[in-house]
Structure 1
Amino acid sequence: MRVLMVTPGTRGDVAPMAGLGSRLQGLGYEVAVAANPAYAPLVVESGCEFRPLPGDLAGLITQPAPGAKASSGSVLTFWRKLTEYMDNAATGTLAAAEAGADVILANSVAPYAYDIADALGIPAIGAHLQPIEPSAAYPPVIMNSAQSLGAWGNKIIGERAAAGPAPYDAPSARLRRELGLGKESRAAGERRRRKAKATILHGISPTVLPRPADWHSGLVMAGYWWPAVEPDWQPSADLVDFLTAGPPPVFVGFGSSAHIDPAFILEATRRAGVRAVVQGAEGGLGDDAIAVGSVPHEWLFPHMAAVVHHAGAGTAAAGLRAGVPAVGVPVYTDQPLWASRVAALGAGPAPIPYKKLTPERLGDAIMKVVSTPSYSLRAAELGAAIAKEDGTVAVVGALRNL
């Protein structure tokens, strides 16, 4: 069976799917991953075929440093650029599907994949890293907040948000016209699939987010999909030397979400009295810190005393998998949800919203997370529970049931 994974987005969207694809390849499936060109090496190294989706979402959504003004441009300008990105991704998805596929697995920002699948006469299955289904259990991630609105409020606002305008609406409508499909809005298509209890797989651990009671039977909490392991990867000698030269340090990194001046981070870590591994920084940082580029989280995080991150779905999952406590600094969309889950589960202190981040607040949070034994104990318990889960099983089951 030829499986096409459609993954517009950043590295955090692509890496889990490429990892899942690698495991499916080992089970005899032929897997292609459609993603932005920047992630071609990631896909190929996972053993999957790469098919390009034009664009670079990371460059579009990266936030300025805390306290700095955003670059000039209105919300309408950003919406236009995001719609252009989705339009290009939709065109790329069509080309990727026409190159050969028996089934499409589409992430949560690729609803046009369903239209393409309809036109080609093949099935499509949702493969989401975020819970976007309206539910009483959580507020809609589009709100950029984890503040519950109460059971009824979460459900009602979630339904209205799902029915509201989205940057992939126009691309979906254009494709349907070009492919000779009947007129149907993106929101109407989602309602139709919801009524039919269509399968949507979620690469989310039920230990971290229990399956909501109001989900219909087609919504599956599969468990995390982990990035593929690079068998030949080795850490640099400098990093190994740093890790062995003192007590476990604290990792600080914000992925594709934001770039922060290393001096800002070092002021916080030195305030907390900890050594630091700073991802994304360049050059020397002194005896108490080291700058690193791309280092596999599954190798690095177990060496840390704690991790500080933007609480992206994959990074938050990696921290919990490693059994280390975390300080969440959520920036947007689903990140507040994951940061709040880490805190609610007892694996770290209350999150610090990115817009309110200061060296003092960050330093105090780091000091708290490394000096509170219950956080480490709880993180270790969660890591042990997550280790027993296998997110591939539900995916294979869904594919066999087609």
Structure 2
Amino acid sequence: MRVLMVTPGTRGDVAPMAGLGSRLQGMGYEVAIAANPAYAPLVVESGCEFRPLPGDLTELIRQPAPGAKAAGGSVLSFWRKLSEYMENAATGTLAAAEAGADVILANSVAPYAFDVAEAFGIPAIGAHLQPTEPSAAYPPVLMNSARSLGPLGNRIIGERASAGPAPYDAPSARLRKALGLKKETRAAGERRRRRAKAPILHGISPTVLPKPTDWHSGLVMAGYWWPVLKPDWQPSADLVDFLADGPQPVFVGFGSSAHIDPDFILESTRRAGVRAVVQGVEGVLGDDAIGIGSVPHEWLFPQMGAVVHHAGAGTTAAGLRAGVPTVGVPVYTDQPLWASRVAALGAGPAPIPYKKLTPERLGDAVKQAVNTPSYALRAAELGGAIAKEDGTVAVVEALRSL
């Protein structure tokens, strides 16, 4: 069976799918992954075929330093650029499917993949890293907030957000017209699939976010999909020496969500009295800190005393699997939800919204994270539970059912 994964977005969107694809390849499936060109090496290293989706979302979504104003552009300008990105992704999805596929797995920002699948007469399955389905259990992730509106409010606002305008609406409409499909809005298509209880697999641990009771039977919390650790990868000698030369440090990194000056971070970690591994700048940063580039979280996080990050889905998962406390600094979309889940599960202190981040607040949160025994104990318990889950099983069952 030829499986096409459609994964527009950042590295955090592609890496879990590449890991899942690698495991499916080992089971005899032929997997191709459609992603932005920047992630071609990641896809190829996983053993999957790469198919390009034009564009790069990273610079468009990266946030300025806390307290700084965003450079150039209004909300309207941002929406236009995001719509252009989705238009290119939709065009690339059609080309990727034309190269051959028996089934499409589409992430949460690729609804146009369902239109392409319909035109080609092949099935499509949602493969999401975020819980985008309306539910009483949580507020919609598009609100950029984890503040509950109450069960009824969460459900109503979630349904309205799902039916509201989105940057992929126009690409979906254009594709349907070009492919000779009957006119149907993106929101209407999603409602139709919801009524049919169409499958959507979520690469989310049910230990971290149990399946809401108001979800239909086709919505599955499969468990996390882990990125592939390259067998020949080796850490730098400087990093190995730093880790061995003192107490466990704290990891601080914000992925593609934001850039924070290393001096800001070091002021925070020194305030907390901890050593630091800072992602985003490479080289020795003093006796108590080192900067790193891309280092597998699977290898690095278990050696940390705590992890500080933007609470993206994949990074949150990696921190919990490692069994270490987390300080969440959510920036946007689903990140507030994951940061709040970590705190609610007792694996770290209350999150700090990115816009309210200061060296003092971050330093105090880090100090709390590393000096509160219950956080480490609870994180270890969660890590043990997550280790028993296999997110691939539900995916294979769904594919075999086709």
TM-score normalized by structure 1? 1.00
Q: Which secondary structure state, in structure 1, belongs to the residue aligned with residue 307 of structure 2? A: strand
- Which structure 1 segments of 5+ residues have no match? none
The one-letter code of the counterpart of 2:247 is P
- Please say if 1:27 is aligned against 2:19: no
Match of 1:122 in 2: 122
Q: Which secondary structure state, in structure 1, belongs to the residue aligned with residue 367 of structure 2? A: helix
Shift of residue 282, structure 1, vs aligned partner: 3.5
- Please say if 1:151 is aligned against 2:156: no
Match of 1:233 in 2: 233
Give the distance between the partners of 1:59 and 1:71, measured in 2 at CA: 11
- Please say if 1:5 is aligned against 2:8: no
**Alignment map for 1:368-379 (pairs within 5 Å):** 368-379=368-379
Match of 1:366 in 2: 366
Q: CA-to-partner distance for each residue in 1:214-262, whole Å, 9 max, x for gaps?
A: 0000001100000012100011100000000000000000000001000
Match of 2:218 in 1: 218
The one-letter code of the counterpart of 1:95 is A
The one-letter code of the counterpart of 2:321 is R
Shift of residue 283, structure 1, vs aligned partner: 3.9
Give the distance between the partners of 1:296 and 1:374, measured in 2 at CA: 26
The one-letter code of the counterpart of 2:312 is G
- Please say if 1:92 is aligned against 2:92: yes
- Please say if 1:208 is aligned against 2:205: no
The one-letter code of the counterpart of 2:395 is V
Give the distance between the partners of 2:220 and 2:272, measured in 1 at CA: 41
Structure 1 ranges of 4+ moved more than 6 A:
none
Q: RMSD of the alignment, in Å?
A: 0.4
Match of 2:382 in 1: 382
Q: Which secondary structure state, in structure 1, belongs to the residue aligned with residue 223 of structure 2? A: coil
**Alignment map for 1:250-399 (pairs within 5 Å):** 250-399=250-399
Give the distance between the partners of 2:366 and 2:243, measured in 1 at CA: 18
The one-letter code of the counterpart of 2:151 is A
Give the distance between the partners of 1:124 and 1:261, measured in 2 at CA: 42
Q: Which secondary structure state, in structure 1, belongs to the residue aligned with residue 233 of structure 2? A: coil
The one-letter code of the counterpart of 2:98 is E
Q: CA-to-partner distance for each residue in 1:297-335, whole Å, 9 max, x for gaps?
A: 000000000000000000000000000000000000000
**Alignment map for 1:77-116 (pairs within 5 Å):** 77-116=77-116
Judge conservation of contact 2:205–2:386 (CA < 8 Å) in 1: yes
Give the distance between the partners of 2:33 and 2:244, measured in 1 at CA: 38
Shift of residue 284, structure 1, vs aligned partner: 3.1
Match of 2:39 in 1: 39
Match of 1:135 in 2: 135
Q: Which secondary structure state, in structure 2, belongs to the residue aligned with residue 201 of structure 1? A: strand
Q: Which secondary structure state, in structure 2, belongs to the residue aligned with residue 290 of structure 1? A: strand
Q: Which secondary structure state, in structure 2, belongs to the residue aligned with residue 20 of structure 1? A: helix
Match of 2:185 in 1: 185
Shift of residue 281, structure 1, vs aligned partner: 1.5
Q: Which secondary structure state, in structure 2, belongs to the residue aligned with residue 171 of structure 1? A: helix
Q: Which secondary structure state, in structure 2, belongs to the residue aligned with residue 125 of structure 1? A: strand
Give the distance between the partners of 2:247 and 2:361, measured in 1 at CA: 23
Match of 1:73 in 2: 73
The one-letter code of the counterpart of 2:393 is V
Residues paired across the two proteins, number = 402
Shift of residue 198, structure 1, vs aligned partner: 0.1
Shift of residue 269, structure 1, vs aligned partner: 0.2
Shift of residue 171, structure 1, vs aligned partner: 0.3
Q: CA-to-partner distance for each residue in 1:62-100, whole Å, 9 max, x for gaps?
A: 000001111121100000000000000000000000000
Give the distance between the partners of 1:95 and 1:57, measured in 2 at CA: 19
Q: Which secondary structure state, in structure 1, belongs to the residue aligned with residue 32 of structure 2? A: strand
Give the distance between the partners of 2:59 and 2:174, measured in 1 at CA: 25
Q: Which secondary structure state, in structure 1, belongs to the residue aligned with residue 379 of structure 2? A: helix
